[in-house]
Amino acid sequence: YLFFYYNILVINYSTKDRDKAIEVLNEIKENAVIMKQPHYHVFIYLNLTVLNFDNQNYKQSLRSLVRLTMEEGYGNLDVNLRMKITVAELIIRYELKDEEFLEKRIEQVKKEFSTQFKSKEGRRHQEMLTLLSEFATADNILRNKPLQKKITTFLDKQQNAVGDLINYNTWLSTKVA
């Protein structure tokens, strides 16, 4: 029951006070009873990733995400969740200006999730990968009119999309002139 109490706190604070939510998540990580349950690790590290990203603390966000991917049960997660985690990593890498890693990893991701990209939901993530690939090679996104048009088209087509770890629409909106 303790975990569910913490879960409620994190959900509440994540909308009102992200720093407090991060503080609660870090407190959970120190609780030996909760940390004995590997499935709770996903909740902890995913939330730390997203909250730190929202606070523009990209290095800490990446640390939490990498920690999640190193967890014993990561490979057992649903493939669609792993795809979302991977795209979130690429967005974070872009924000950290790690374009070289980004370009290499995008090609790996296209192969790794090729089956998922054929589904309706997967196509959205594939389009995001295409945009990220262009972001990595663009000199200035805000001055690149064709890329700006692609971003606007993506946003118009996906107005009410939910379920991304990092909300693509919110993030992409910051990249539009």
Q: Provide the pLDDT for residue 108.
A: 95
Q: Note the pLDDT tens digit of each residue in 106-164.
A: 999 999 999 999 988 889 899 999 999 999 999 899 999 999 999 999 999 876 666 78
User: Residue 15 pLDDT > 70, yes or no?
Assistant: yes
CB 13 within 8 A of CB 47: no
Return the residue matching tokens 């606007």.
Answer: 152
d(CA 13, CA 16): 5
Rounded to the nearest 5 degrees, what angle is found at the Cα of 21, between the Cα atoms of 75 and 80? 25
Q: Six-digit token pair at 82?
A: 């792993």
User: Residue 37 pLDDT > 90, yes or no?
Assistant: no
Residue 17 pLDDT class (50, 70, 90 cuts): very high
